[in-house]
Amino acid sequence: MASLEKVEQPRRLGGAVAVRPAPAVEDEHALRALDLFGNPAEEEVRLASLPESAAVARRITHAVVRRHWSLSPQLAEHAVLLVSELVGNAVQHAGARVFGLRMLRRRGWIRIEVRDPSRGLPCLMPVQPMDAGGRGLFLVDKLADRWGVDLLPRGKSTWFEMRLQDR
């Protein structure tokens, strides 16, 4: 039987079919991003403050959490989603040319930080069911075990932590 690992798998959305890369292709993209931009678990990775950098940050996060740290798919999925939200906030609100991504693993925890040169603090807003936006920090608050903002001499670090043993 032929392997379908590298074949794009169609996915039904309502009446339409969406094409999504197979997991092996996603892993390959993630590892390529890690090689190209660096490993944020070793040192801060600096990315251009552009909307397309969110995809790069997601791929890098996935590669570190799944490949380097060998953590669960669910933890990787949550970490990727929350990184995307923090990067989106940095790109949209910081007004900077670059932002930094840093990932730390300690006994029983991971911590992911997005650093930018703005000292403007993010604000957790109440979310209504029909709101079209403003859910980023709401998701961070719900999925992370802890999150916060550290003011730095030149900017801030917005971070979240996730406990490992319960996941």
Q: What is the pLDDT of residue 28?
A: 82
The DSSP H or E segment spanning 156 is strand 155-163
Q: What is the pLDDT of residue 8?
A: 43
Query: Which two tokens mark 41?
Result: 């678990």
pLDDT higher than 60, residue 150: yes
pLDDT higher than 90, residue 25: no
Query: Which two tokens mark 14?
Result: 């309502």
pLDDT higher than 90, residue 134: no
What is the distance between the alpha carbons of residues 145 and 160, in angstroms, rounded to a whole number? 7
Beta bridge partners of 150: 157
pLDDT higher than 70, residue 133: no
> Mean pLDDT across the stretch 23-45?
85
Q: Tell me the domains of the chain and their CATH numbers.
A: 20-163 (3.30.565.10)
Q: What is the pLDDT of residue 15?
A: 53
> Mean pLDDT across the stretch 117-135?
76
Q: What is the pLDDT of residue 85?
A: 93
- Taking only the tens place, the pLDDT of each residue in 63-114 is 999 999 999 999 999 999 999 999 999 998 888 899 999 999 999 999 999 9
Instruction: Report whether 145 contacts 167 (CB < 8 A).
Output: no
pLDDT higher than 70, residue 116: yes
> Mean pLDDT across the stretch 26-44?
88
CA dihedral sign of residues 40, 115, 94, 140: positive
